[in-house]
Amino acid sequence: MGHVVQRGERFYAVVYDGIDPFTGKERRSWHAAGSDRADADAMVERLDEERRLLRDTEPSSRGLTFAMFLINWWLPAKKLELRATTFFRYEWMVDHYVTARVGGILLRRLRADHLEQLYTELLELPGRNGTGLSPKTVHNVHVMLRSALRMAVRRKLLSVNVADAAVAPKYRASMPPMRSWTVDQLVTFLDAVETKRMYPAYRVSAMTGMRRGEVLGLRWSAIDFAKKRLVVENTVQLLHGTIIEQPPKTRSSRRSVDLDDDTLEILAQWRASLEERGTEWVRPTDWVFPGGRDKPFNPDLYSQIFDRLVARLELPKIRLHDLRHTHASLLIKDGEPVKVVSERLGHANPAFTMTTYQHVMPGMGANAARRFAKLVSPSPRHPNRPRLPEAGRRTR
* Domain ranges (residues) in the chain: 3-57, 66-164, 183-359
Per-residue confidence in pLDDT tens, the chain, 396 aa: 788 888 888 888 888 776 665 566 777 788 888 888 888 888 888 777 766 655 554 555 568 999 999 999 999 999 988 888 889 889 999 999 999 999 999 999 999 999 999 999 999 877 555 667 889 999 999 999 999 999 999 988 999 999 999 999 988 776 677 899 999 999 999 999 999 999 999 999 999 999 999 999 999 999 999 999 999 999 999 877 889 898 888 888 999 999 999 999 999 999 999 998 877 778 999 999 999 878 999 999 999 999 999 999 999 999 999 999 999 999 998 888 899 999 999 998 888 888 888 765 555 666 777 777 887 776 655 556 555 566 555 555
- 144 touches 103 (CB < 8 A): no
Domain 183-359 grouped into CATH 3.30.70.60: no
How far apart, in whole angstroms, are the C-alpha atoms of residue 202 and residue 310? 12
How far, rounded to the nearest angstrom, does the alpha carbon of residue 108 sit from its chain's CA centroid? 33
- Which 8-state DSSP code applies to residue 71? I
How far apart, in whole angstroms, are the C-alpha atoms of residue 331 and residue 350? 14
Q: What is the pTM of this model?
A: 0.68
93: nearest Cα among 129, 59, 62, 119: 119
Dihedral sign for Cα 372, 376, 377, 383, please. positive
Q: What is the pLDDT of residue 61?
A: 59
Alpha helix stretches (DSSP H) within the chain: 37-57, 66-68, 75-79, 84-93, 99-102, 112-124, 135-154, 183-192, 199-208, 212-216, 261-276, 299-311, 322-333, 338-345, 350-357, 364-376
What kind of architecture, by CATH, is found in domain 66-164?
Orthogonal Bundle (1.10)
- 178 touches 261 (CB < 8 A): no
Q: Would 66-164 and 183-359 be classified into the same CATH topology?
A: no
Pairing of strands 26-32, 223-224: unpaired
> Edge-to-edge strand order for the sheet containing 223-224?
223-224, 229-232, 255-258
14: nearest Cα among 33, 36, 35: 33
